[in-house]
């Protein structure tokens, strides 16, 4: 009888335990980038280790995701447990108390291994508010065969003069080859990411120490004039509607001699399955003008927990798994070292196997190291962020300014008119937000 009772008790305990174990369902919001798709594919490995957690993915286009997640987090809707957010959002949202600080990532997580610049970008008041999933800077990708044919040489740290000169010499419009492909599509994360970084290298800045917009300075005029003239002479037609993907398509099709963009593109342009010029690509640091700043940005896609989530423990477990050193090894074992998420951990750049398959690794690391979100410009600024100013108003302002600059590139506006319009739009928004009087 005792045995029967024991068995019944045991069975009921098990029955009770089963629903309790399968209780936690994490809803993870993310973007459709290659590394994130890979993470989704490997979710089974995480749930195998954590049978009490199930994972639901919500994949959205970047801008839709931003709007969707912002609405949910501002209203404490609690629809998501893990968010994929950029370095722009982390400090702003952390300050508003929208994110849960990540304090329990586990003993073997090795926070010290995170690249210092990236770690800084996802921390506020000394606390980690998001864990970097992949990080990137920007650099020059160029066609070694075209350079060789023209008798040109790309230095590892080129100046803008060298890049501009090469772009002009390598342009052969009749053959459909353009000296340089740069972003022109309007948007704070599109053309303004590139132009803000370029402006930094020319000594310009978004705001002075008193938050006064700086588009009326000679530095911005030089930046925009150089950009528009260069693109007119050596850029592809219709450049004002080109973003990352369009330029990637052009470069992969062999239409661009140079392309300055995200370091993460290096693995795409050297992949023979995607690129026609995979074995003819060289890399160099983003150009400078000798003022001490290169025209490169710093960005990372990170995983964070919104304050409205009721499953923070499970969410933190997932984040620790997806951004750990073991995850990198897992991706390498399943899909090869070339496919591991780059730009977050020092140890990856000391790994010989990775360095062997990633000829761009050294320059990616050098580019990330060269960007400083806390001191992004030659002159001092009151904001944090290299290709953006980490204030909530920047998204709107950045896109408005981007539209003016895109119009200048398209030729429907002069450089002076675009700068004047950018200055007045930014002044108006900054006054409205109370930064200036």
Partner 1 sequence: MARMATTRRVMISTAAAWLFGFLIFFPILWMGLASFKTELEAFAIPPSFLFFHWTTENYATVQERSDYLHHAMNSIIIAGGSTLIALLIAIPAAWSMAFSPTKRTKDILLWMLSTKMMPPVGVLVPIYLIYKSLGLLDSRIGLVFILCLGNLPIVIWMLFTYFKEIPRDILEAARMDGATIGRELVYVLTPMAIPGLASTLLLNLILAWNEAFWTLNLSTSSAAPLTTFIASYSSPEGLFWAKLSAASTLAIAPILVLGWFSQKQLVRGLTFGAVK
Q: Which stretches of the chain bind partner 1, using CB under 8 A?
A: 27, 29, 31-34, 37, 40-41, 56-62, 64, 67-68, 71-72, 74-80, 176, 189, 244-245, 248-250, 252-253, 255, 262, 264-265, 268, 273-274, 276
Nearer to partner 1, 67 or 104 (CB): 67
- Helix, strand, coil proportions of the chain in percent (round to 5)? 50, 15, 35
Tell me how far, at minimum, the Cβ of 333 lies from partner 1, in Å. Answer: 21
264 secondary structure, DSSP code: T
Tell me how far, at minimum, the Cβ of 73 lies from partner 1, in Å. Answer: 11
Q: What is the b/e burial string over 348-382, where b = at least 16 CB atoms within 10 angstroms of the residue's CB?
A: bbebeebeeebebbebbbbbbebbebeebbbeebe
Nearer to partner 1, 128 or 195 (CB): 195
Tell me how far, at minimum, the Cβ of 306 lies from partner 1, in Å. Answer: 13
Nearer to partner 1, 368 or 421 (CB): 368
Where are the strands (E) in 65-155, listed by range?
82-86, 123-124, 127-128, 131-143
Tell me how far, at minimum, the Cβ of 208 lies from partner 1, in Å. Answer: 31
Tell me how far, at minimum, the Cβ of 35 lies from partner 1, in Å. Answer: 9
| C-alpha–C-alpha distance, residues 126 and 185, integer Å | 36
Phi–psi pair at 181, nearest 5 degrees = -115, 125
Q: Is 20 exposed, middle or buried (0-12, 13-18, 19+ CB in 10 A)?
A: exposed
Nearer to partner 1, 93 or 202 (CB): 93
Token pair recorded at residue 339 = 């496919």
Tell me how far, at minimum, the Cβ of 395 lies from partner 1, in Å. Answer: 14
Tell me how far, at minimum, the Cβ of 37 lies from partner 1, in Å. Answer: 7
Nearer to partner 1, 16 or 253 (CB): 253
Nearer to partner 1, 254 or 382 (CB): 254
Nearer to partner 1, 37 or 307 (CB): 37
Phi–psi pair at 298, nearest 5 degrees = -140, 125
Tell me how far, at minimum, the Cβ of 310 lies from partner 1, in Å. Answer: 14
Nearest residue to 196 via CA among 46, 357, 385, 53: 385
| C-alpha–C-alpha distance, residues 139 and 141, integer Å | 6
Tell me how far, at minimum, the Cβ of 139 lies from partner 1, in Å. Answer: 15
**What are the residue ranges of helices labelled H in 189-308?**
191-201, 218-234, 244-252, 265-269
Count of Cβ atoms closer than 10 Å to residue 95 Cβ? 14
Tell me how far, at minimum, the Cβ of 248 lies from partner 1, in Å. Answer: 6
Beta-carbon contacts of 322 under 8 Å, excluding residues fewer than 6 positions away, are: 39, 46, 131, 133, 303
295 secondary structure, DSSP code: S
Phi–psi pair at 61, nearest 5 degrees = -65, 150
Tell me how far, at minimum, the Cβ of 309 lies from partner 1, in Å. Answer: 13
Nearest residue to 129 via CA among 81, 85, 88, 90: 90
Nearer to partner 1, 62 or 165 (CB): 62
Nearer to partner 1, 11 or 64 (CB): 64
Pairing of strands 123-124, 82-86: unpaired
Place of tokens 């290298």: 201
Question: Is residue 102 helix, strand or coil?
Answer: coil
Cross-strand pairs, 142: 258, 282
Nearer to partner 1, 84 or 288 (CB): 84
Nearer to partner 1, 272 or 380 (CB): 272
Token pair recorded at residue 123 = 């921390």
């Amino acid at each position: 009888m005792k045995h029967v009772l024991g068995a019944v008790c045991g069975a009921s305990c098990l029955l009770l335990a089963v629903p309790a174990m399968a209780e936690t369902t994490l809803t993870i919001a993310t973007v459709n980038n290659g590394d994130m798709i890979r993470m989704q594919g490997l979710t089974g490995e995480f749930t195998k280790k954590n049978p009490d957690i199930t994972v639901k993915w919500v994949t959205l286009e970047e801008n839709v995701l931003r709007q969707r997640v912002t609405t949910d987090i501002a209203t404490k809707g609690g629809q998501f447990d893990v968010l994929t957010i950029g370095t722009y959002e982390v400090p702003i949202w952390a300050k508003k108390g929208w994110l849960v600080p990540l304090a329990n990532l586990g003993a073997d997580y090795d926070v010290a291994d995170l690249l210092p610049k990236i770690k800084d970008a996802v921390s506020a008041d000394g606390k980690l508010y998001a864990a970097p999933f992949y990080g990137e800077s920007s650099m020059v990708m160029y066609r070694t065969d075209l350079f060789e044919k023209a008798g040109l040489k790309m230095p590892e740290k080129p100046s803008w003069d060298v890049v501009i000169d090469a772009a002009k010499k390598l342009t052969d419009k009749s053959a459909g080859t353009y000296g340089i492909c740069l972003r022109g599509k309007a948007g704070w994360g599109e053309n303004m990411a590139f132009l803000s970084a370029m402006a930094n290298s020319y000594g310009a800045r978004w705001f002075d120490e008193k938050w006064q917009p700086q588009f009326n300075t000679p530095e911005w005029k030089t930046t925009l004039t150089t950009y528009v003239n260069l693109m007119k002479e050596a850029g592809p037609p219709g450049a004002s509607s080109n973003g990352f993907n369009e330029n990637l398509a052009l470069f992969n099709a062999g239409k661009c001699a140079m392309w300055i963009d995200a370091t993460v593109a290096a693995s795409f342009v050297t992949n023979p399955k995607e690129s026609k010029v995979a074995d003819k690509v060289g890399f160099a640091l983003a150009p400078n003008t000798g003022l001490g700043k290169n025209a490169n940005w710093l960005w990372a896609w990170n995983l964070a927990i919104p304050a409205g989530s009721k499953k923070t423990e499970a969410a933190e477990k997932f984040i620790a798994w997806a951004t750990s050193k073991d995850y990198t090894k897992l991706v390498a074992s399943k899909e090869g070292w070339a496919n591991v998420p780059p730009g977050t951990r020092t140890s990856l750049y000391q790994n010989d196997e990775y360095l062997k398959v990633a000829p761009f690794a050294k320059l990616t690391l050098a580019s990330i190291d060269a960007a400083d979100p806390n001191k992004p410009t030659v002159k001092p600024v009151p904001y944090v962020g290299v290709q953006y100013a980490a204030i909530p108003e920047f998204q709107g302002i950045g896109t408005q300014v981007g539209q003016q600059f895109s119009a200048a590139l398209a030729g429907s506006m002069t450089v002076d008119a675009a700068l004047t319009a950018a200055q007045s739009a930014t002044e108006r928004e900054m006054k409205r937000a109370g930064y200036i009087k």
